[in-house]
Each structure stands twice: as structure tokens, then as C-alpha cells.
Chain A
Amino acid sequence: MSTELPVLKPADFASDQDVRWCPGCGDYSILAQMKKVLAELGKTPENTVFISGIGCSSRFPYYMNTYGMHSIHGRAPAFATGLKSTRPELDVWVITGDGDALSIGGNHFMHIIRRNVDVNIILFNNAIYGLTKGQYSPTSKVGTVTKSTPRGSIDHPLNPVSVAIAAEASFVARSIDTNIKHLVKTLIRASEHKGTSFVEVYQNCNVFNDGTWAYAKDKATKLDTTVELEHGKPLIFANGTKGIRLNGFTPEIVDLEKVAQDDLLFHDEKTDNSQLAFLLSRMRYPEFPEPIGVFRDIDRPTYDDMINSQVDDARADKGDGELGKLFSSGDTWTVG
């Protein structure tokens, strides 16, 4: 017998605060899909916590009627680790951006992932610093002309998915702000995964870096420039006309009129070895269609489970701590 719970709607996850992103910002879509996903998954506002760092995306928690913390720049993973380690029953989300996660917060990003703390990290990648008005970011292409790089940026960009895989991620995915169906599906997968789920979302900053993901978003091009990953299925794109085949360790684009589907690269998100996921993450536009979907989804013990098991085990072994026993452990002597 089950008790009927009140069904929450996406609007029940909205706070009473006015959303203050620029009109046309990709963040609006991610916010809307997130509310939809939480409602669809039957989550409750009181058991959900959004933690963010600093940047445009990091205003996100203010707009959710859940618990939330708008923390300091780059450190959201550390706050989330402290919270999830002590309150493992909570559903914890980290909202971050390309600068927040990969520049100032690079260290924490790497370490929360290797620890496999059971939180969902959503990285809004717009390849620009929006809140500080348009400097290049660690995901900006070489040569990006901004206020701080009038002759073009000279630093080589990071690939967020590659970084996450190299940091031993148990779940890595990529989606696109305006690809609503795909984004919803991806967020659900991230939420369902136990362990750190990392999702890179291509997000358009229409003020400082408009169109940076246009190739992957525009109807006219997206079928040729992206390939959707599906577990156990071959990598096929361009309306079923093209596929990806492995030539040694190198992927290549092949014409499906000439090559049989069985010869294509089949996606396996469950394989323990991260080489396939890494190889896929290296496929970049314009040489290749960029994979979207789940790169990797494996089971690995979570940090929060283990830190709590150690406490439970210690209590089972030694009994609940008693101060009297602690104080008189070792050598004592009595006066008078």
C-alpha cells in the first residue's frame, strides 16, 4: 500500500526571486529544464540543495525554491563535499561555469570527481567570463579577442569532458542549452547516477560570446556537427548517412553507403576502461562531429558512503564513544 504524495509541478521549484540573467541567456533554458526534471523525478524542495560558486550561472540557487548556497568563486565542490559527507540523504547539485570550475576552481573540480562524491555537477560552458563583462575563459578558443586579450587569447583551452574523464569521473555527459529534450534526458541520467555526475552544457552567452556553439545548435548544421551517444549503439550522424569508425587508435568519419554499420565504433558507456570515453571527448568541431550524451557511466564506491561507513563500522567495533573511557585511556594517576 502506498500513500499518495502530492505531485509537485516545475513551478513548485521556483523561488520568489526575479531571475536577473540577460534576456536571451542560455541559462533560462537550463533553469526551466532543471525544474521540470526535479518535478518529473518526484524530488522534494526540502531535500534538494543547490550549491554554486561565482559567475552568471552561479546565481542559479537563488531562483530555486530549494535549499541553496551561493558560495565563493570556484569552491562549490568543496562546500558540496562537506554537506554531502554529513548529510548523504540530501540531493545535492553543484552549479558552475567554465571559469568557476576550470580556472579558479580547477583543483576542487578535479578532487570532487576523483573522490566520487554523490553530487551532480552541471557546468554551464559559455567559453567566456560573463559576470566580469567578457574576458576569455579557460575554454575559449586560442585567438579569442576580448577586453583582456585585444590581440587574441594565447592560452590553449581545456576540454571539460576530457578533464573530468582524466580525473576518474564515474559519470560524464554533454548536452546543449537549447536542445531541451536532450538536456532533460541528460539531467535525469545525471540525477540517477550514484557518484559524481558531471554534465557539460553548451550554453550561449548572447552578450559577450554570442554564437560560440552555433554550429552545434543551429538546425542547419547540428546534424552534421554533433553525434548523439547511445550505449551499445554505433556512432551515426548526419541523418544516418555518416558514421565514426576506428582506424587504429584514431577515429575517422565514414560514409554509410560504403561502410557497414557493424564496422562502426559502438559506444560503451559502462566499460571500466576510460580510453573510449576519452577518445570520444577528443572529437572536436570542425574535424569531427562533437559527441553529446553520456560518455561514461560506471559504478564506483562514493566518498559519502565510505566516510559514513567508517563511522558506522567504528561504532559497531568499539561502541558509541564514551568520554570517560577516552579520558582515562592510557596512563593515569590519582592524587588525594
Chain B
Amino acid sequence: MISVTDQFPPTNKPSESLAGVTVRLAGDSGDGMQLLGTQLTNTSALSGNDVATFPDFPAEIRAPRGTRAGVSGFQVQFSAEEIFTPGDGLDALVCMNPAALVTNLGDLKRSGVLIVNSDSFEAKDLKLAKLESSPLEDGTIEAYRTIKVAMTALTRGAVEPTGLSVKLADRCKNFFAMGLVFWLYGRDVEPTLRFIDQKFSSKPEIAEANRLALKAGWNYGETTEDFASTYQVPAAELAPGTYRNIMGNQALAWGLITAAKLSDKELFLGSYPITPASDILHELSKHKNFGVRTFQAEDEIAAVCSAVGAAFGGSMAITTSSGPGIALKGEGMGLGMILELPMIIIDVQRGGPSTGLPTKTEQSDLMMAMYGRNGESPLPIIAARSPSDCFNVAIEAWRVATKFMVPVLILSDGFIANGAEPWKLPDIEALEKIDIEHPVQPNDGDTFLPYARNEHLARPWALPGTPELMHRVGGLEKQDGTGNVSYDPDNHQYMVETRAKKVELVADFVDPIEVEGSDEGTLVISWGGTYGACHTAVSTCIADGVKVGHVHLRWLNPFPRNLGEIIKRYDQVLVPELNMGQLRALIKQQYLVDAQGLNKIKGKPFHVNEIVDGINAISK
């Protein structure tokens, strides 16, 4: 038997050690770039690197071939150090066609490695990319270390023994590119070989062709003189433990399943497919043996309403969506709020307004989360800061929802949802249980008061099926205690204030916020998926001697109790956000501080450098 090492021998070329590398793979949306990126990420993580990814793809499933609109990219940073972002400038860029080259070249560092499939730069390809001349010949690529590889021809040659048609052979190109990239960075091919076996188990000829293409790419690097050396990125020093790679939506789903287990609940998800939230529905629907029921509703409204119905029945009820869907769910969320039932509403934010940029990231739903319902309808809001953080956020959200009997909103975003990073598996035994009590007898003599309140202002969660506790809930204002319909003016004021107070009390229950860095000078306040970029930027500035501190908000409603006191210590406040300044407006309103904004609304995450520049610009 031929071993993997025989087939993919270690390089004889000199190898240079690097602390970290940022690579982007770009091609047509049908070229399999996402698959290539995922494989590179997994094998890097498995070899002990810290990794962070940024998949970037068009909303169309198959945008017109070869056009700039159809370019799909996958960026990954793998590092020997702890990292928090998928990287700013690219060390290497792989381009499968001219459109991918012109739309991505601007991010490649000067003298970075550019690998192109030179077979796809024919006149027709240039025309599709709306190019007058070939960037390979007109000086466009002069500043880079360009390696032109005839990938199409080489792949066809490599897979010839399988007898595949040219069309199918050409689809193996991404595995050729993968082989080459894996060779260049000394990546382990074994996990990918396993993946090929599993993925194409029913199509052995395709599996064989992909293996041949992978091997051809590897050998091409080793044999030709195009590449003088390879690179090695040693393992990072991560905390001891068992790790796996995890994406944000997957981590959310697993966090929800874990929260259901911790609270001894069955899980119900009412959801309507929407980018970029659908993967939570997909993931949860795979795990029915955890007592998970998923309901793909007829629309967003039915999705949230079914969740309220399930919450009334005593399930851990969830609805998931993105901005446009959350807009539709507003009335149902308001009902959940006035019914004072625990549930979780997840908004995986994307570029807006309206349909906006479905596959791009943005943080522009914060105000909708805060105020996007009729009447006085505050809800606790928690935001995840990274893919793996989604796991903890899901559990914390359910803890608060059940403690206070209130729907909790989780904000994620497209960047976190599709991004991946290593996740240290939690010690399951150490996870704190979530205690939930359902009353079994009247709470006021012989009478049951469905809106009697405990010290958290929470009402009892009495379930249908319980004798003597029959009660009616509804969207009309209700009398405190009895829950009967009430138009009494004083009662209405009391109920509005009480429901708001309940959200405020959440602040007593969550950890105070901590400052990273300096406690004077400039304060950076961030929330959600910009954590990595802000954290890295602040660390960079501190290393340069700038006085700057950083707080990252996990709870957006209520704000942590100590935030006001922290803000007072600083001369200026900078709020970087992927929106027009929504958190900044809330901060200014609540703390009367002249916070400055750093706002990017391009459908893309922050580069670290953009925040470094922002900090330097306002710091004295």
C-alpha cells in the first residue's frame, strides 16, 4: 500500500518559517473556492495554527460565469500566534480567472505571492471580466511575485486516467489549486483525502480524479522552478484542551442545543429560510435526537408566532432570521414581550436596507433590535463577538430569558455566521444548569395569578395541562397579577414601566464589563463581530505607545452597570461600527458623551489598520 507520504512527499526545497499567513482564494462562484478555503482552514487548524476565516461570495448561486459579479472568495489567516481577524493585507492570492484577479488584487500586499490559472486569460475571459487587455501582460501584476500556472491543462492531464469528460475534469481545478497551496505552506493533505473519500463515496471516479488533481498540484510546486521555497507556520500556543474548528451559525445551534440540555427542555425552532441565518435551521434539523423540533414555517411571521406558541406550551422556543425577516417578525416579538414568555430571537445581520446585500456583513439592525416594535417594547439584546462566542451567547441568552420571563434577542452577523475559528471544547460537567420552575398549584389562595411577579419581576411560567392554573394571555394590556384585560390608565403605566424595569434588571445578573488596555486617553467601544479587529487594533496602538483602552459590549440592552463610570475616565471615545453610528447614538443618548464614530458600510468587516488609523486620528 502506498502511504500518504509517498504520494505527497515532504518538500526538498528550502522552507521559510512565518509567524502567520493570510491567503485568499478567488474564482468563479462555481469554481469551488469555498470548498478549497474550508479545507485549507481545517487542515491548518488541525496542525495547531490559530485560524480565522472570511468567506465572501455573491448572493446569486451561479452568477454569470467569468464576470466580476460572480467572483467568490475565501480568505483565511493561519498563524503561530493567537489571532482575532482573518487578516488585512494578503500574503498570497490565488486567482482562477481575470475577474477574480481584478477584483481582489488591491488587497494583495506588495511583493505578495499571486498564483493565477493562466489558462483562463483568453480573449473571451477578458471580455467577460470587462478588461481591454490581459492583466498578466499589461503591467497590472508587476509589483507581485506572480506565478502563472496552466491549471486547466495540467488538471485535464492529471485526471486523464479516470476517463472523465473535459467538463467534469475541469471541475477538479480547485483540487489542483489546493494541492499547490497545501504544498506551498506544508499543509497536511490527509484530512482532505478523508474528506474526498466521504464526500464522493458514491462517485469513486470523481473521488479518484480529485485525488489526482490534488497530487498534481502538490507535485507541480515541488517539481517546477516557479517556486524557490515553501513556507512553514508553526503551531500556535493555544490553551491546553481539545479543539475543533467551528463556524458561527454552527456554534449558535450547538449553544442552543446545550442550553436546552442544561435546562432540561425540548427545543423548538420556528424559522423561514433566509441568508445568512439558514444554516442554523439546517444544523438544528440534523439533531432531532436531542429533542429538537424544527418547523420551516410559511413565512417569517408564522415562524416567530409558532415559537411563541411553543413557548406557551413550555418548550425552549427559538426563531432565527436576518434583518428583513426580523422586520416582519416585529408584531410577534411584541406579543412575546407582553405575554412575558421566554424565547430566543436570533438576527444574523446582513447588509441592508431592504433586501440589501444578503451575503455581506453589516451591524445595522441594532436600532431595529432596540426600537423596532410598536409601543414601549424593550427586549434584552446580546451580541456575539466571534464564531465560537456564539456558543456561549446562546446559553447566556436562554439563561436570561428564563430567569426574567422575556424574549431575548441575539445579534450575530454574516461575518461571524460564516467565519470559522478554533473552539476549545467546553467541559460539559462544568456548565451551570439552568433551573426552570413551572408552578403546579395556585399562588394566591385558591386563585392562580398568571402575572404575579418574583424578585426579578418574572411571572410564573404555568403550562397548559396543569389543573387549576388555567389562564388566558393576550396582546391586550393586562392587569398586573390577574392578567385580565385592563384599560386602567395607572395599570398601563405600571405595566409599561415594569416590563422596562425587568429588562434593566438583567444588568444585575450579567458580569460587569472589563477594560482591556489603558485606563486613560482614548476609549474604543465596540460590539458584535468587530471585536477581533478592534482588539487587534488596540493592542497594536498600545504597543506603539498610544494611550487607548477597549471595552467590548456583550449586552447592548441593558448596558453594563459600570459602562458610564468607565467612559468618564477617558478624554475621548471612539465607536467603530459597520453602520452609520447606531451604538454611538445610544451611547451619546445614555451617557451624554461626545463619542466619535468610525463607520464603514461596505458590506465588509473592518481591517485592523482602519481602526488603528481611527484611534491615532483622535488620540492626543
- Chain A nearest CB, measured from B284 CB (Å): 11
Q: Does the CB pair A319–B289 fall under 8 Å? A: yes
Q: Does the CB pair A81–B46 fall under 8 Å? A: no
Q: Does the CB pair B243–A332 fall under 8 Å? A: yes
Q: Is A239 an interface residue (CB 8 A)?
A: no
Stretch binding the partner chain, chosen from B352-360, B460-468, B503-511, B566-574:
B460-468
Q: Does the CB pair B310–A71 fall under 8 Å? A: no
Q: Is B305 an interface residue (CB 8 A)?
A: yes
Q: Does the CB pair A70–B465 fall under 8 Å? A: no
With A75-B305, A78-B309: A307-B295 Cβ-Cβ less than 8 Å: yes
Q: Does the CB pair A70–B470 fall under 8 Å? A: no
The one of A44, A81, A315 that contacts B306, using a Cβ cutoff of 8 Å: A81
Q: Does the CB pair B289–A62 fall under 8 Å? A: no
Q: Is A187 an interface residue (CB 8 A)?
A: no
Counting chain B CB atoms within 10 Å of each CB, the highest count among A68, A107, A327 belongs to A327
Which residues in A have their C-beta under 8 angstroms from that of B335?
71-72
With A62-B472, A86-B315: A333-B310 Cβ-Cβ less than 8 Å: no
Q: Does the CB pair B469–A46 fall under 8 Å? A: yes
Which residues in A have their C-beta under 8 angstroms from that of B266?
86
How many Å lie between the Cα of A315 and that of B287 in the bound state?
Answer: 9
Q: Does the CB pair A324–B305 fall under 8 Å? A: no
Query: Which residue on B lies nearest to A318, using beta carbons?
Result: B289
- Per the 8 Å Cβ criterion, residues 279-336 of A in contact with B are 307-308, 310-311, 313-315, 317-321, 323-324, 326-328, 330-336
Q: Does the CB pair B48–A46 fall under 8 Å? A: no
How many Å lie between the Cα of A323 and that of B289 in the bound state?
Answer: 11
Q: Does the CB pair B46–A333 fall under 8 Å? A: yes
Which residues in A have their C-beta under 8 angstroms from that of B597?
none
With A78-B306, A81-B302: A46-B465 Cβ-Cβ less than 8 Å: yes
Query: Which residue on B lies nearest to A316, using beta carbons?
Result: B289
Which residues in B have their C-beta under 8 angstroms from that of A320?
289-291
Q: What string of 1s and 0s marks CB contacts (under 8 Å) between B282-319 and chain A? A: 00000111111101011101110111111111110100
- Per the 8 Å Cβ criterion, residues 2-51 of A in contact with B are 15, 17, 44-47, 49, 51
The one of A44, A75, A315 that contacts B289, using a Cβ cutoff of 8 Å: A315
Q: Does the CB pair A328–B425 fall under 8 Å? A: yes
- Chain A nearest CB, measured from B330 CB (Å): 10
Q: Does the CB pair A79–B308 fall under 8 Å? A: yes
- Chain B nearest CB, measured from A12 CB (Å): 11
Which residues in B have their C-beta under 8 angstroms from that of A49?
464
Q: Does the CB pair A321–B257 fall under 8 Å? A: yes
17 A-B pairs with C-beta separation under 8 A: A68-B473, A71-B308, A71-B335, A72-B475, A79-B305, A81-B302, A82-B270, A86-B310, A87-B465, A315-B291, A317-B289, A321-B261, A327-B426, A328-B244, A331-B244, A333-B243, A335-B240
With A17-B484, A327-B425, A335-B235 known, 12 other A-B pairs at CB within 8 A are A69-B473, A70-B476, A75-B302, A81-B297, A85-B268, A86-B268, A87-B464, A311-B289, A327-B426, A331-B45, A331-B244, A335-B241
Interface residues of A (CB under 8 A from B): 15, 17, 44-47, 49, 51, 54, 61-62, 64-72, 75, 77-87, 89-90, 107-108, 110-111, 307-308, 310-311, 313-315, 317-321, 323-324, 326-328, 330-336
